[in-house]
Structure 1
Amino acid sequence: MEGRAFPAARRLGVGLAAASLLFTVACSGSGGEEASGVSNESPTVELTIVPADGETEVAPNTPVTVTASIGTIEEVTVTQTPAAPEDADASASPEAAETEEAEEAGAGEVDEITGTLNEDGTEWVSDWTLTPGSTVTVVATGKSPEGETAEFTSTFTTLEATPGHRLEVQSNFPVSGDVVGVGMPVIINFDLPVENKAAVEAALEVVSEKPTQGAWNWFGDQTVVFRTEEYWEPYQKVTVNMHLAGVQAAEGVYGIENHQLTFEVGRSQISEVDSETHRMVVTRDGEQIKDFPISTGNATTRAYTTTSGTHLTMEKYQHLVMDSATVGIPPGHPDYYKLDVNYAVRFSNSGEFTHAAPWNGSLGQANLSHGCVNMSTADAQWFYENSYMGDPLVVTGTDRELEVDNGWGYWQRSWEEWLANSTLGEADRTDEPGSPGSPHRSVGEQAEAAE
């Protein structure tokens, strides 16, 4: 079988001593040494950085804060140096080093620790969490009321994430470089259960070229899905910044790496299948381009009834063996079947595909399939060749409703229901930086909020 997937600001209290750094304007005598020690003059700039200089094993989800008690904050930069892995090979090849440098360059944007400065310039708080097991240097520049500037520094280390307690991305859909349909969600699967869902949601930043809003929903403890209020506008780039390094996913469990996903939304193609008229109509960018005769499920059993609702195309196969045992009808059962089909496009997880069915002589006249959408070979080939992952496929006319978690049935929830099922309960604007909520939130704080 030849298989082919589609191109595929809340602040935490910190139990750490503050690093209070004072700057005193000092003059030098002609040819003399710089003044040192404590001056009798009042400081003209006073900034405090938390975590304090010299602190060790700071929780990675601790926010970096800079406050000005005298003067204002002009600039803050945060630099992180992760500890070298214990199994690092010092004799790695130059080619491997170049690859690593290229990956680091590509991850630079999502790894940057940005921050938010309040209106009067007296408090700066980091937007994202810190990488576990890193040496962190914070350099803050303050400005006195008289216009003089001074620089302050705090260097500290963060707690390492221990083996077995490191949250990582196991898979995601789409992947970088994919061109997808306008209904495409962002699906992230984690390797460990997430208890602190609010913090993880807040660490996921979605940015699109054309403004919209969306929200995340969880399906179990390891899968989170972003869906927009309406379909994506076509012909645009979408970037997902996963600021996961340092997020506390569960008690003692921290994310260890940031990721950036970039994909393209292509043309708008929406297909409508009417099981009563036995037709499938395809509309592209608002204009009807195809009208196919089809045959849907015979509805003699629930398993053989095509699901009605808004589906998304998920993957496609030029050739596929369809075995009813995969949907709970084993060999020996009266309804068992095993078929070789061509040009199959999946639109659910309950065994539903569009595919060529040259044996079906009732296309456009009757529903005779086991639940799939039967098509002529030429029509099935066209649909196979012209489908993107995430194209909406809307089925009407049957009494079996598509479940929200059957394949990618996420559009089965109204926007109000989708937003209500978000842990944060707030829409995320994709044309604005950041995300709702705080990635600094601890497991304890989420538990308190849930009470």
Structure 2
Amino acid sequence: MEGRAFPTARSLGVGLAAVSLLFTVACSGSGGQEASGVSSDSPTVELTIVPADGESEVNPDTPITVTAANGTIEEVKVTQSPAPEEEAGGEAAAETAEAEEGGPAEVDTITGTLNEDGTEWVSDWTLIPGSTVTVVATGKSPEGETSEFTSEFTTLAATPGHRLEIQSNFPVSGDVVGVGMPVIINFDLPVENKAAVEAALEVVSEKPAQGAWNWFGDQTVVFRTEEYWEPNQKVTVNMHLAGVQAAEGVYGIKNHQLNFEVGRSQITEIDNDTHRMVVTRDGEQIQDFPISNGKATTRAYTTTSGIHLTMEKYQHLVMDSATVGIPPGHPDYYKLDVNYAVRFSNSGEFTHAAPWNGSLGQANLSHGCVNMSTEDARWFYENSYMGDPLIVVGTDRELEVDNGWGYWQRSWDEWLANSTLGEADRTDEPGSPGSPHGTAVGEQAEAAE
């Protein structure tokens, strides 16, 4: 994908790629020279650019529009020159950018969509706050005469305390993940205009899929596909957040790009009644382990049923019941040193080695974790990716959708219905549903409802 600029996938027209972010701005006058061999009596194409030349403090979420009279639009190029403080994006954003961005020129490029008759061009993405923007548009008359028009304007700067930034995300660039892996973005400020933020997040995969975003609170948004990712492919997430108005007067200040890889397909199924863990890789069973689940004397000691995802792993971990609400002094308090632990929920559930459990494959005696032999737990630890599906059946405690990464607990219809945009996003096509542009946040919120 490197070096390519895409139009939005939802347009009917042809997108015109714009140049990458530049830190010098070339100036040129409006209008153009009469083309050779064309009569001076021939009508000259006229292009109108909005925002107009000389405007200042334009809202960053204002779309750039170019319209043609007496001809068509041939090319539109947009350059942005951020002020130094906007370019830096703050300490937290700079750290995120260094960790995540694989192609800043691509994600900062302002592309646009041209209508079918070539008379209107509209930018796809929002603009960097506090920047000087130069739009150079070329039009052509019916007789073939070309003319160039320029508009240079500045965008409103984002004020301190009102700058939306990414606090964390999963996965991060360079990760190899399982086929169930979602994209999770945590923001540092609450998002009110969820539709615009969703529309600014572009997910592109090598193999066809469709997905959608769901919000968990006002600061966390999660992308999940309808079915598991097809294995062995690359996925790119372009976060066109610069200039998006997340709440009244709150603007994203920096774009980010996330690149990760989906690895082999590995799916684990645990049957609470048979006390077995079966691991299937790329459609073939490769392991069958004896295990011991939660003893289910209380809800807290009952292993959750449902579609989990492996989240993180530790070669050595101290498991303290105080972290799940059972403090020291309580009759059920425990503190254990365990090896080869793989987390699959936020309610204290791990697969791990339990050499003290003599009932593996026979009875459920744990506090809710999946007990395994040391050899088997080590194999699972070494062969698990973040985002591998782990399915538990047979208990009477259902995994909650927001317990860890229980996002597959929602059916696809429920997931799509919980998307603010309410439309599936084709990941093998560029762009995203909806528009990140807007005027008043309240008006956009009403439109989304």
Task: Compute the TM-score of the two structures, normalised by the length of structure 2.
Answer: 0.89
Matched, 1:25 2:34: yes
Matches within 5 A, 1:23-422: 25=34, 41=41, 43-85=43-85, 106-422=103-419
Aligned length: 413
Output one character per residue of 1:90-111: Cα deviation in whole Å (capped at 9) or x when no partner: xxxxxxxxxx999998300000
- SS of 1:85's equivalent in the other structure is helix
For 2:23, the equivalent position in structure 1 comes to none
Offset at residue 312 of structure 1 (A)? 0.1
* Code of the aligned partner of 2:442: G
- Supply the distance in 2 between the matched residues of 1:207 and 1:103 (Cα, whole angstroms): 16
- SS of 2:378's equivalent in the other structure is helix
Offset at residue 119 of structure 1 (A)? 0.6
* Code of the aligned partner of 1:361: G
Offset at residue 70 of structure 1 (A)? 1.4
Offset at residue 128 of structure 1 (A)? 0.1
For 1:448, the equivalent position in structure 2 comes to 446
- SS of 2:342's equivalent in the other structure is strand
- Supply the distance in 1 between the matched residues of 2:113 and 2:274 (Cα, whole angstroms): 57
Offset at residue 43 of structure 1 (A)? 4.0
Judging changes above 3 Å, is the alpha-carbon distance between structure 1 residues 218 and 274 closer, same or farther for their aligned structure 2 residues?
Answer: same
- SS of 2:270's equivalent in the other structure is strand
For structure 2, the residue ranges without an aligned partner over 5 or more in a row are 1-9, 12-28, 89-96
* Code of the aligned partner of 1:371: G
Contact 1:23 1:46 in 2 (8 A): no
Contact 1:24 1:45 in 2 (8 A): no
Offset at residue 445 of structure 1 (A)? 2.3
Output one character per residue of 1:383-425: Cα deviation in whole Å (capped at 9) or x when no partner: 0000000000000000000000000000000000000000000
Contact 1:113 1:128 in 2 (8 A): yes
Judging changes above 3 Å, is the alpha-carbon distance between structure 1 residues 431 and 160 closer, same or farther for their aligned structure 2 residues?
Answer: same
- Supply the distance in 2 between the matched residues of 1:126 and 1:24 (Cα, whole angstroms): 26
- SS of 1:55's equivalent in the other structure is coil
CA-atom RMSD, angstroms? Answer: 2.2
* Code of the aligned partner of 1:416: D
* Code of the aligned partner of 1:444: G
User: Quick check: which has more Rg, 1 or 2?
Assistant: 1
For structure 1, the residue ranges without an aligned partner over 5 or more in a row are 1-8, 11-19, 29-38, 89-99
Contact 1:191 1:222 in 2 (8 A): yes
- SS of 1:292's equivalent in the other structure is strand
Task: Compute the TM-score of the two structures, normalised by the length of structure 1.
Answer: 0.88
- Supply the distance in 1 between the matched residues of 2:35 and 2:142 (Cα, whole angstroms): 16
Judging changes above 3 Å, is the alpha-carbon distance between structure 1 residues 412 and 235 closer, same or farther for their aligned structure 2 residues?
Answer: same
Q: What is the percentage of aligned positions where both structures have the same residue?
A: 87
- Supply the distance in 2 between the matched residues of 1:450 and 1:214 (Cα, whole angstroms): 18
- Supply the distance in 2 between the matched residues of 1:336 and 1:105 (Cα, whole angstroms): 47
Pick from 416, 434, 443 the counterpart of residue 437 of structure 1: 434
Judging changes above 3 Å, is the alpha-carbon distance between structure 1 residues 311 and 432 closer, same or farther for their aligned structure 2 residues?
Answer: same
Contact 2:100 2:258 in 1 (8 A): no
